[in-house]
Structure 1
Amino acid sequence: MAKKNKDFVEKITAMEDDFAQWYTDVVKQAELVDYGQVRGTMIIRPYGFAIWENIKDELDRMIKKTGHSNVAFPVFIPEHLLQKEADHVEGFAPEVAWVTHGGDNELQERIAVRPTSEALFCDYYSKHINSYRDLPKLYNQWANVVRWEKTTRPFLRSSEFHWQEGHTAHATREEAEEETMKMLEVYADLAENYLAVPVYKGQKTESEKFAGAEYTLTIEALMHDGKALQSGTSHNFGDGFAKAFDITYLDKEGKSQFVHQTSWGLSTRIMGALIMVHGDNRGLVVPPRIAPTQAMIIPIAQHKEGVLEKAYDLLDQLKDIVRVDIDASDKMPGWKFNEYEMKGIPVRIEMGPKDIEKEQVVLARRDTGEKEFVPLADLEKRLPELLDEVQQNLYNKALAHRNDKTTSVTTMDDFKEALETKGGFLRAMWCGDAACEEKIQEDTTATSRCMPFEQEKIADTCICCGKPAQELVIWAKAY
């Protein structure tokens, strides 16, 4: 049995040897996904979907708390509707999947399989917004979308993925700007306080913004391998879509005005961040606040009299305090330890005959591997405390890693050296010219991740061209 346990662990490639293969191994061995029959699609398995559901439930609560209502729009978009906003359709055209036949009959007009839903919401708003009394419209939908990606990886970039997309309409520019920022803060709250993933908040450059938006706000996270992951975006459309779709309202003076709109989205891509920020060479590590099972009870020597009975008593005792489960299968304890380490269960509760005699349990942390003996009388108090400690430790470790991998540079030589030897986020000044942005990407493959809200002038000139600097930009290689 020892050999079998060893083999189980060796199914994961060491992240230091091949990070991409490590990621694939964890996704598969932790039973998060399987591959679909159509290239680039994924089957999210029960455990993977349980994690996504917890993320979804927390975010849905936050979205509703800010006054939004959930709706459901069709998956199909007629081509003429998608074509109405020129920048928008140009940005998505290479990724759109088209339906050309209904049964055996060729359609008179192609139908897009939803890559995003701005066109549908705009069409709806044009019919249902007439007066200032109809505003604001604060809608959100949970849906799946299709984008025909050339290169795919589970969660990070798949041809079909799950997400939420908010779409709102407001009377004024100021209200739309407030909404755009508010929802970005919701995403940052979710990432940092539930997924334990620290993020930089900022604005995308003009070339990196969402197609059709006036500007895009983003949260950017750093993965263990030093690459960035865009983890949630919020877009201010101004009145551009309103003009394209003729979405007007009569204000209090009876004058016709165009609405101002936003959209914002977070997808199953955040699962990729969860894996690559916290995972290790033993597998997945799931933050307690979004873990489907926060504690797993493992009976030791369960064939001995009274052990299973006591373990189930413990399950009953804890089930209203934390999300707890028990593995009473006939597999060896060592196999179970590896199984739940692989799946990233935050805390393991061990109980055997000797523990029963001493009226105690052993708590083993997934994040550090540390164990502690806890009297049964103290368990109901200690276990929630320990879960909070694990949650905080995961965030602290991720923040320390991000800070260690964030470098300020003032010359292109320093930029290239830091990117090559250290990776991570690079802070550098930029003149605002897209040509410099493109040249940096061509020369280094690093892209602008955001112009952080917390601006600092670390140099007077652009790192690329030497002209006067306008913005501090965070750069990185990215997924």
Structure 2
Amino acid sequence: MAKELKELTPRSVSYSQWYQDLVIKADMAENSAVRGCMVIKPYGYAIWEKMQRQLDDMFKETGHVNAYFPLFIPKSFLSKEAEHVEGFAKECAVVTHYRLKTNHDGTGVVVDPEAKLEEELIVRPTSETIIWNTYRNWVQSYRDLPILCNQWANVVRWEMRTRLFLRTAEFLWQEGHTAHATQAEAEAEARKMQEVYADFAENFMAMPVIKGVKSESERFAGAIDTYTIEAMMQDGKALQAGTSHFLGQNFAKAFDVKFIDKEGKSDYVWATSWGVSTRLIGALIMSHSDDNGLVLPPKLAPYQVVIVPIYKTQEQLNAISEKVAGIMAKLKALGISVKYDDADNKKPGWKFAEYELKGVPVRLAMGGRDMENNTIEVMRRDTLEKETVSCDNIELYVKDLLDAIQANIYKKAFDYRTAHTITVDSYDEFKEKIEEGGFILAHWDGTPETEEKIKNETKATIRCIPLHGDTTPGTCMVTGKPSKQRVLFARAY
């Protein structure tokens, strides 16, 4: 049964099917009765809660506060910023009526034609419009600025081809929306939040990222600049793991949000928005997991340690449980989350397989002989290595081990990215190498026409113009025209 529990399609056979199998078998999420939507199950949601808690702390440390804005947006609001509405128009869910009634033949309910809304409401795909309409009432002078708001919410972007966590019609996220008195302040805010996301990705998700700026065609709809962090998954594809947008005065002008500055002059405020979503759970899975199941970084694991007793009699279990209680108290005193699984409806072998599948970073097992010898078996999930150690100071041993696992998972992902990142100078070589996956650094002439040609012919997109990359000028691999620096290309999720 333990083998059946863990049976996953190997990554080498079908990476896509491996991912789907893993999300389902690790009990993280499942498809719902609503087409394109998912149910996030308790274990998957526990990971999201860990992410949410850490990010929320980081936002508050940088001066942001939480608020909540309506789910529904009047259709007319989306018409006020032309580029924004064009970017989201094809993904919007629209509410047209506000009431149902019983069908005349008694077969159920139908939409009441008499209950048509005067103006249709859009289920929010993102909240810039409703928030900037609100900010108009909050801002009169420079003393009211900056506004540094974030909201944790759900959004709807109508998707027909979905994949759990990575692309669903409804998903959970946070979206920050800030208002500033100067362009410099707003640009600094957008870059600061990119740094916050990169810090979270690397130090908590153990996922190395490349920081950069999006090309014009890849920017958020309505933005002047979009700052991004890009991560590489184990199949060599890129995943956009977080974006921060400098919106200029576009939304302030669209919604007439002005302020009186220190000199008594009237001006439009400057804006940013930034967000990450439950897509990060997909990134976490694909960055680290293996053919045995999830591999979770300790800092985001729902529980970092699981302890499994191995016993023959109730008396033996009682003795082990008493010993384990002391160990658990010491672990918890160090802030380590721990679960003791003494349930008698599954054998230890099943439990070992289940916790390996679920990616619990450290598993401890104690049997009768361990009791006699004052020892405990320790297994680390990242390498599957086992050893038997003394129970004396076990809490310090485990603490150091969790730190080592966090560092090792990051290093493994970093080394993989390094090994699958190359530099090319010719378009022929680019077309050959992109088939192998990975990141390619190449020169581009900066035109949307060349960018579109590359996308159409190779399915690769410019993931970003790296902020800390090779800035040596060169010539475009496609046209031979001058290029300011190499940009990052990849196929992407």
* TM-score interval (norm. to shorter): over 0.9
With structure 1 as the length reference, what TM-score do the two structures score?
0.97
Q: Does residue 321 of structure 2 align to residue 308 of structure 1?
A: yes
Q: Deviations over 1:42-84 (max 9, x none)?
A: 1101110000000000000000000001000010000011211
Q: Deviations over 1:136-158 (max 9, x none)?
A: 00000000000001311111011
How far apart are the structure 2 equivalents of 1:320 and 1:161? 35
Where do 1:294-333 residues align within 5 Å?
Answer: 294-301=304-311, 303=313, 305=316, 306-321=319-334, 322-330=336-344, 331-333=346-348
SS of alignment partner, residue 393 of structure 2: helix
Measured after TM superposition, the shift of residue 310 of structure 1 is 2.3
How far apart are the structure 2 equivalents of 1:52 and 1:343? 15
**Superposition CA RMSD, Å:** 1.1
Measured after TM superposition, the shift of residue 341 of structure 1 is 0.4
Amino acid of the structure 1 residue aligned with 2:208: P
How far apart are the structure 2 equivalents of 1:267 and 1:107? 31
How far apart are the structure 2 equivalents of 1:412 and 1:59? 40
Amino acid of the structure 1 residue aligned with 2:467: F
Counterpart of 1:409?
A: 424
Counterpart of 1:87?
A: 83
How far apart are the structure 1 equivalents of 2:387 and 2:468? 41
How far apart are the structure 1 equivalents of 2:484 and 2:348? 60
Counterpart of 2:439?
A: 425
Selected match of 1:263 from 257, 270, 273:
273
Counterpart of 1:393?
A: 408
Measured after TM superposition, the shift of residue 302 of structure 1 is 5.4
Measured after TM superposition, the shift of residue 94 of structure 1 is 0.4
Q: Does residue 206 of structure 2 align to residue 209 of structure 1?
A: no
**Structure 1 runs of 4+ off > 4 angstroms?**
none
Q: Deviations over 1:118-169 (max 9, x none)?
A: 0011101111100000000000000000000131111101100000000000
How far apart are the structure 2 equivalents of 1:100 and 1:171? 38
With structure 2 as the length reference, what TM-score do the two structures score?
0.95
Counterpart of 1:442?
A: 456
Selected match of 1:343 from 358, 381, 391:
358
* Structure 1 unaligned spans of 5+: none
SS of alignment partner, residue 67 of structure 1: coil
Selected match of 1:7 from 4, 9, 13:
4
Q: Does residue 151 of structure 2 align to residue 141 of structure 1?
A: yes
How far apart are the structure 1 equivalents of 2:6 and 2:41? 21
Where do 1:367-382 residues align within 5 Å?
Answer: 367-382=382-397
Question: How many residues are matched?
Answer: 474
Contact 2:6 2:25 in 1 (8 A): no
Contact 1:430 1:469 in 2 (8 A): yes
Contact 2:472 2:484 in 1 (8 A): no
Contact 1:346 1:390 in 2 (8 A): yes
Counterpart of 2:195?
A: 185
How far apart are the structure 1 equivalents of 2:238 and 2:439? 8
Counterpart of 2:257?
A: 247
Identity of aligned residues (%): 53
Measured after TM superposition, the shift of residue 460 of structure 1 is 1.6
Measured after TM superposition, the shift of residue 459 of structure 1 is 6.3
How far apart are the structure 2 equivalents of 1:180 and 1:374? 48
How far apart are the structure 2 equivalents of 1:246 and 1:372? 66
How far apart are the structure 2 equivalents of 1:311 and 1:176? 53
Q: Deviations over 1:286-305 (max 9, x none)?
A: 10001110000011125352
Aligned CA distance change for structure 1 residues 170 and 302 (closer, same or farther; 3 Å): farther
Contact 2:210 2:466 in 1 (8 A): yes
How far apart are the structure 2 equivalents of 1:366 and 1:8? 17
Selected match of 1:73 from 62, 69, 73:
69
Measured after TM superposition, the shift of residue 316 of structure 1 is 3.1
SS of alignment partner, residue 189 of structure 2: helix
Measured after TM superposition, the shift of residue 457 of structure 1 is 4.4
Contact 1:423 1:476 in 2 (8 A): yes
Measured after TM superposition, the shift of residue 283 of structure 1 is 0.8
How far apart are the structure 2 equivalents of 1:246 and 1:458? 42
How far apart are the structure 2 equivalents of 1:134 and 1:150? 43
SS of alignment partner, residue 483 of structure 2: coil
SS of alignment partner, residue 441 of structure 2: strand
Aligned CA distance change for structure 1 residues 400 and 376 (closer, same or farther; 3 Å): same
Measured after TM superposition, the shift of residue 211 of structure 1 is 0.2
